[in-house]
Amino acid sequence: MSALLKKDWFGLGLVLIFGSILISLFKPAFISPFNLYVLMLSVSLMLVVAMSQMIIIAIGQMNLSVGAIGGLVAISFTGLMEVYSMSILPAILIGLLIGLACGFINGYITVKTGISAFIITLATLYIFKGMNLGITEAQPFYEIPEAVKFFGNAKIFGPIPYLVIIPIIITVLMWILMNRTSLGRYMLAYGNNVQSSELIGISSTKIVIYAHVISGLLAAIGGMLVVCRLQLGTPNIGDSWLLPSFAAPVIGGAILAGGKVDVIATAFGVILVSIISQALVIFKIDPFFVQIFLGFMILLAVFINRYREYREERRTKVFSDE
């Protein structure tokens, strides 16, 4: 039991349970089938986006281009089907390749130049977004196959949408990657201390590129899932991803300096942000205040993050003094 209490996700889990009960008491509509369906759709989409950012945070970097990659892939995916009458599977594969390529570009330039990933991905954000607008001329694509529309809006049973399947699979795979593979351990070791990781033979080049490639792949999947949900491809897909992508991992206990992430806690962070956003809507609070609240959540998450870093520094200092 004591080991369970120390888990980053345990406290979040309690907050989710009691918070949901409290909201339901004041607004029974919160647990209506329709609202649960909408909530699960929101969680499903943002879960993939959060995982895309989380793996970059694990190595102590940031990817500001997550949304731009997702948007570029979303437009490419829909454009291939509408303009070139391409079938779904080839369009998906090309979309995934675009995401991988964007991630590789981010990682390769970061490694070869030694410039902060924050600056590199800020630049590629505008490049990928510009490509998006150039392809679409700022106009949406509407011709989406019925199978894509069905997957994005149909339900398995009750309020559970088909769209949750892929994010759940991704979450499981990410947990395995970060907790059961040498690559995941190397990423955390690199994020914790770059110099020490290099001394034990971990390739900085490979780790950074692998992390960005996986991030790009997940952003691509997120973009295509949004297309399934919206039933069209719009140039603004991904524009609102940046803040939630950072909020969920940090709320889940990730340290922005790197070396510490928790997949389950990140998933709980996504659920928490989605529940709060949904609750504000149910309580008929002005949508502008939802954005303000998310901003304050990010600020709080950063303060919590800094406290964790301070605590880790104190702990390391104590051990070194001994």
Picking from 200, 88, 203, the residue whose alpha carbon sits closest to that of residue 148 is 88
* 307 CB neighbour count, 10 Å cutoff: 10
Residue 278 belongs to a domain:
no
Residue 184's domain spans which residues?
A: 43-240
Residue 106 belongs to a domain:
yes
Residue 258 belongs to a domain:
no
pLDDT of residue 266: 92
Picking from 190, 1, 167, the residue whose alpha carbon sits closest to that of residue 111 is 190
Residue 72 belongs to a domain:
yes
How many Å apart are CA 197 and CA 84, to the nearest integer? 47
Residue 51 belongs to a domain:
yes
What is the C-alpha radius of gyration for the chain, rounded to an integer number of angstroms?
Answer: 20
Residue 252 belongs to a domain:
no
Tell me how many domains the chain contains: 1
* 76 CB neighbour count, 10 Å cutoff: 25
- What does the CA dihedral 160, 163, 169, 170 come to, rounded to 10 degrees? -130
36: Cβ contacts below 8 Å, ≥ 6 apart: 159
pLDDT of residue 88: 96
pLDDT of residue 259: 84
For residues 128 and 102, the answer to whether their CB atoms sit within 8 Å is yes
Model pTM greater than 0.85? yes
How many Å apart are CA 37 and CA 13, to the nearest integer? 20
Q: Quickly tell me which residue has 């120390």 as its tokens.
A: 6
How many Å apart are CA 240 and CA 57, to the nearest integer? 19
Locate the DSSP E strands across the chain.
155-157, 160-161
Residue 154 belongs to a domain:
yes
For residues 140 and 234, the answer to whether their CB atoms sit within 8 Å is yes
Tens digit of each residue's pLDDT, the chain (322 residues): 555 555 666 777 888 888 888 888 888 888 899 999 999 999 999 999 999 999 999 999 999 999 999 999 999 999 999 999 999 999 999 999 999 999 999 999 999 999 999 999 999 999 999 999 998 888 899 989 999 999 999 999 989 999 999 999 999 999 999 999 999 999 999 998 888 888 888 899 999 999 999 999 999 999 999 999 999 999 999 998 988 898 889 888 787 778 889 999 999 989 988 888 888 888 888 767 777 777 787 787 778 777 766 776 777 665 555 5
pLDDT of residue 98: 98
Residue 132 belongs to a domain:
yes
* 294 CB neighbour count, 10 Å cutoff: 18
